[in-house]
Structure 1
Amino acid sequence: MRNGSIPGARGRVRPLTLLGDPALHTPCADVTDFGPELAALVEDLFATMYAANGVGLAANQVGEPLRVFVYDCPDDEDVRHLGHVVNPRLVEADGVVLRGPEGCLSLPGLEAGTERYDHAVVEGFTMTGDPITIHGTGWFARCLQHECDHLEGTVYADRVTGWRHRRLMRQVARTSWGSQG
């Protein structure tokens, strides 16, 4: 396999936007230019996601307020799902609501039990403008919902309630990056 066919092989690793940065709570703008800058952003997102050992990454997590995310995430049957979505819309989130551990590259080292549906469908476009529909179940459905949330200006911590939320916020305050806010 040539390096050009491996997602992120040509991308550069960008600094991650961490909780506390207003960019994470600002809805992202639609992509209107499907040119080489978008392709470079997708490559950078893959490179950054892999460098941070993530399974998904949204553009606003690297400081780009655009509706784009990448993923390399297994489902509950351990089937690998790899790709990217431009201008995604979460068109279905249904099935059983499960509370499971959820983490985020913008809250490094932390996780909390977060409720998500076990089925999700996302519609959007590839970086070349071709329409795509992505169906996810289990862990992959959680990933799709998580990344779509990012583009709406929501992080998983916003979905955690009660004592779980209070515990997570105490953990954030004890981190080196969370105590700077």
Structure 2
Amino acid sequence: MSILQILTWPDERLSQRCAPVEGIVPDDLIRDMFDTMYAAKGRGLAAPQVGVMQRFFVMDVGWKEATPSPMVMINPVIMAAERVPVEMEEVCLSIPGLSVPVSRPKAVTVQWTAPEGDIHMADFDGFEARCIQHEFDHLNGVISLDHLDEPSRIACLTAYEKARP
């Protein structure tokens, strides 16, 4: 078990679009990302958050409720999204201590490759869909603050900067 360092804002890698995964993602990297996510009390962790600039993420939205459902999505594509957005507060392991209101579709259809190479497609809704969209944003160099209007973004960044050690 290895706990990886989670990059924090304003690390410039968090604003970069990731390259597609070609080949396989090493099992030990996947295990380390899950270990890191669980240790940080998160529900999702994208590769760029640990400095790996490739299009994949791990997530487990049920582990805190004692219903583990670990997933790895490699080269995910959001194929469809519900038109009516829902606003919720989101937190991010790369922006510790900050909660941001983000409007996202309630449901999405996603296609991805699993670590063993199988291609999957499934519908997700509720918190699971939100987590997927949050991690998918990371693969495109988008953070939760990017969803805010400029005055709100400035206010959040100011609060974040004051709270940082």
TM-score, normalised via structure 1 length: 0.83
Structure 2 distance, partners of 1:53, 1:112, is: 18
Alignment root-mean-square deviation, CA:
1.8
Tell me: CA distance 1:122–1:115, structure 2 relative to 1, closer, same or farther (3 Å): same
1:133 and 1:82 mapped to 2: Cα distance?
16
Q: Which residue of 2 aligns with 1:53?
A: 41
Q: Secondary structure at the match of 2:93?
A: coil
Q: What code does the residue aligned with 1:142 have?
A: R
Does 1:17 pair with 2:7?
A: yes
Summarize the alignment of residues 6-155 of structure 1 with structure 2, pairs less than 5 Å apart. 11-34=1-24, 38-74=26-62, 81-155=69-143
Q: CA deviation at 1:80?
A: 5.9
The one-letter amino acid paired with 1:26 is Q
State the TM-score, normalizing by the size of structure 2: 0.90
Comparing 82-91 with 162-171, which one deviates more in the overlay? Answer: 162-171
Superposition deviation, residue 44 in structure 1: 1.2
User: Aligned letter for 1:21?
Assistant: D
2:114 maps to a residue whose letter is: T
Q: How many residues align?
A: 162
Give distance in 2, aligned partners of 1:85 and 1:148: 9
CA distance in 2 between partners of 1:147 and 1:92 (Å):
16
After TM superposition, give the deviation of residue 163 of structure 1 in Å: 4.1
Q: Retained in 2: the 8 A contact 1:81–1:140?
A: no
Cα distance in 1 for partners of 2:147, 2:68 equals 26
- Runs of 4+ residues deviating >6 angstroms: none
CA contact (8 A) 1:103 1:112 kept: yes
Instruction: Note if contact 2:97-2:160 (Cα within 8 Å) is conserved in structure 1.
Output: no
| Counterpart Cα distance in 2 of 1:160 and 1:117 | 16
Kindly provide the CA deviation profile for residues 138-166 of structure 1, in whole angstroms up to 9, marking residues without a partner as x: 11111111111100111111012254323
Contact 2:45 2:57 in 1 (8 A): yes
Structure 2: which 5+ runs fail to align? none
- 1:174 corresponds to 2:136: no
Stretches of structure 1 lacking an aligned partner (at least 5 in a row):
1-10
Find the residue that maps to 1:27 and give its secondary structure: coil
User: Which residue does 2:147 correspond to in 1?
Assistant: 159
Question: How far has the Cα of 1:30 moved from its partner?
Answer: 1.0
Instruction: Give the letter aligned to residue 149 of structure 1.
Output: D
Partner Cα distance (1:136, 1:149) in 2: 16
